[in-house]
Structure 1
Amino acid sequence: MSGRVVVIGVGNPLRGDDGVGPAAVEALRDRVPHGTALAVSDGEPARLLDLWRGADTVIMVEALRTRSARPGELHILSAADAASRTAATASTHALGLGECLALAAALDQLPPRLVVHAMEVADVELGEGLSEAVRAVLPELIDRVAASVRQAHGPDREQ
């Protein structure tokens, strides 16, 4: 696949592990092909829809906190998977990812391809800094997101 690729790190670095999305995007700055749009968002749906407008592929990086998972566990989700898995979870954003994706679908504004790289997190209390469990797995998350970006751009795209 090729076309406009947007990577969005969703989260708030002032809420502990919720900053994993922005941290991953910052680390990607020199690791993705030229022309890849990198952005950070607080998760507000209207801003997310604006960020991915006109994109062929959107890759989101998001914190996830489910009941049964362990901190640092990684997930790669389609838009449908992300909407169903995050519908019953708590969010530090005004609306969660599930609601945002449902809104985008209702408005016919989902991008042609959307992938969510999510990491289970431990601590989303007020305060800066990632927990040890999240910091330990962050390099693997960054590698996975970079691989998704390269795949979206296709084999002939240089950095």
Structure 2
Amino acid sequence: MRTAVVIGVGNEYRCDDGIGPALIAALEEHWLPGVKLIVSDGEPARLIDDWADVPLAIVVDAVLCEPSTPGEFYRTDVPLDDHDHQGDPALESHPHTAGSHSLGIPDALRLGQALDRLPQRLVVYAVEAADVGFGAELSAPVGAALSRLVDAVLSELTSPLPQ
């Protein structure tokens, strides 16, 4: 039985937009029974299929912020009964997503709510990007944040689910 899914959103060939896939690769080195690890392009229908009816879904994506602190990341425990997340860098819509995906988590939330296909709990980690140009390497500050991000997600996965 699947107890959690971790979805790394991004494109590994767009520098820091590859933080989601890099996280999934790092987590694959850990024994995580009941946890499904997925690399996603962030397309809402696929996100909904990946997280529907799972007790815990963790989504990791890169974002562009102004002013920017590359490598900084934000954790949001998304209230699934309230989809007004203006100003939350983890859930801002298209203009702040870092990668080439034009729709994002807010779109998937709205669609998932309409279709009654949400996880029981959704946690989003948004990582501030420095460079989303073409290339397969994370920038130095985002690369340096990867181990802290892995630790944060592992902690999330091993914590008891709130009642």
Common fold by TM > 0.5: yes
- Provide the residue aligned with 2:96 in structure 1: 90
Measured on the aligned residues, the alpha-carbon RMSD in Å equals: 2.3
Give yes or no for the alignment of 1:127 onto 2:132. Answer: no
Deviation at 1:95, TM superposition (A): 0.5
Number of residues paired by the alignment? 153
The equivalent of 1:106 in structure 2 is 114
Distance 1:115 1:16, change over 3 A: same
User: Per-residue deviation at 1:107?
Assistant: 2.3
Q: Partner residue of 1:49?
A: 48
Which residue of structure 1 lines up, in the alignment, with residue 37 of structure 2? 38
Q: Secondary structure at the match of 2:62?
A: strand
**TM-score (structure 1 length as normaliser):** 0.86
Instruction: Return closer, same or farther for 1:52/1:88 CA change in 2, 3 Å cut-off.
Output: closer
Identity of aligned residues (%): 41
CA contact (8 A) 1:11 1:42 kept: yes
- Aligned residue for 2:95, secondary structure, equals coil
Aligned residues of 2:57 and 2:123 also touching (Cα < 8 A): yes
Match of 1:143 in 2: 151
2: distance between equivalents of 1:89 and 1:121? 13
Which one is further off, 76-85 or 105-114? 76-85
**Stretch deviating more after TM superposition (91-100 or 123-132):** 91-100
Displacement of 1:54: 2.7
Cα deviation for residue 30 of structure 1 reads 2.9
Distance 1:39 1:152 in 2: 22
User: 1:115 pairs with 96, 117, 123, which one?
Assistant: 123
Counterpart of 1:70 in structure 2 is 69
What are the ranges of 5 or more consecutive residues in structure 2 without an aligned counterpart?
A: none
* Structure 2 residue identity aligned to 1:19: G
The CA deviation string for residues 61-116 of structure 1, in whole angstroms up to 9 with x for no partner, is 11111213310111101225894321363332130222222222232222110001
